[in-house]
Structure 1
C-alpha cells in the first residue's frame, strides 16, 4: 500500500476504536455519569482531563506504530505484529463498553489485564519487525500497567 493509505488506515483504526468505544458507552448518560462519579476510586486515580490528554498522546503513538508496521516488509512476523497491535486497539473500545455500558468493573479489570499481556506481546513481536514501532507502543504498555492498578482498586472498593 502507499504511505498515505497506510497512514490513513492506521489512524482510522486507532481513532475509529476510540470513537466506537465512546459510541457504545453511555458516558454522556446522566445515570452512567452519576454511577461513575459515586464509585469509590483510589486517590491515585487521575482526574478526567488527564485521561483526555494521555489518550490523545497514546492514540497518536499507536497510530504511528501501526503505520510503521504497515510499511514494513510483508512477512509472518509483520502479520503477527499487526494482529497483536489490532487486538490492543480493539481492547481500547472494549473497555468503555464493559465498564460504562455494562457497568462491569470485573470485566473492565479483565480487559485491562488482557491488554497488558497483549500489549507486551505486541511490543516483543513488533521489535522483530520494526524497533521504532515497538518503542512507540511502550507508553501504551506503561499506561495500561498503571490502569490495571487503578481498575483493580476501583473493582475491589466497589
Structure 2
C-alpha cells in the first residue's frame, strides 16, 4: 500500500498542490520573515539544547511536506470535513505567523503565546485527521513533536533574552 494512494487512487495534481502550498509557503515566509535570522539566532543567548541554525530549514521542509501529504490524504476521502480543512488552514497560518513574531518583529513573548496556540491547533488538526485517515493522523505526529520542542526552545530564549 502506497502512502500516496487513497481509496485506491492517486491524484497527482492534488498531491502536488497540497505539497507545494506548505513547502513554498514556508520558503516564502522564511525569505520574508527570517532575513538575517541566522545572525539574530547566533546573537541570542541560547539554552544548551538549541540546535545550530542550519537544522531549522532542513526540518521544516520535511515537516511541511509531511503535513501537505497528510492534508492530501484527508482531502482525497469521500467526505472531507470542513472542520479538518479549517483547522489545517488555521494552524498553517499560525505556523507562518510565528516566524514574523519571533524573528522579524522580535516579539519573543508574543511568539511564545502564539506557538502554544499553534501546538493546540496542530493537535486538534491531527485528531481530526486521524478520525478521517489513520495514516494522515500519524503523518502529523513529527510536527507535534517538533513544535513541542520549538515551544520549549522559544520559552528558554524568551527567558534568557529578556
TM-score, normalised via structure 1 length? 0.87
Distance 2:34 2:141 in 1: 30
Deviation at 1:34?
4.0
Shift of the 147–26 alpha-carbon distance from structure 1 to 2, 3 Å rule, reads closer
- Does structure 1 retain, via aligned residues, the 8 Å contact 2:38–2:53? no
Alignment match, 1:46: 51
Q: Structure 2: any 5+ residue segments left out of the alignment?
A: 1-9
Deviation, 1:102, is 0.7
Question: How many equivalent pairs are there?
Answer: 152
Asked if the contact 1:21/1:92 (under 8 Å) is kept, the reply is: no
Q: Of residues 16, 21, 24 in structure 2, which corresponds to 1:8? A: 16
**Corresponding residue for residue 94 of structure 1:** 97
Paired residues of 1:17 and 1:92 also in contact (CA < 8 A): no
Equivalent residue, structure 1, for 2:79: 74
For 2:25, which of 17, 40, 44 is the aligned residue?
Answer: 17
Structure 2: distance between partners of 1:45 and 1:151: 10
Quick check: 1:42–1:154 contact (8 Å CA) kept in 2? yes
Q: TM-score, normalised by structure 2?
A: 0.85
138-147 or 103-112: bigger deviation: 103-112
SS in 2 for 1:128: helix
Classify 1:60/1:26 alpha carbon distance in 2 versus 1 (closer, same or farther; 3 Å).
closer
Query: Within 2, Cα distance between the matches of 1:46 and 1:115?
Result: 21
* Residues 1:112 and 2:115 are matched in the alignment: yes
- 2:138 matched residue in structure 1: 135
Counterparts of 1:107 and 1:24, CA distance in 2: 19
- Equivalent residue number for residue 64 of structure 1: 69
How far the C-alpha of 1:24 sits from its partner, in A, is 2.5
In the alignment, the residues of structure 2 paired with residue 13 and residue 151 of structure 1 have an alpha-carbon distance, to the nearest angstrom, of 25
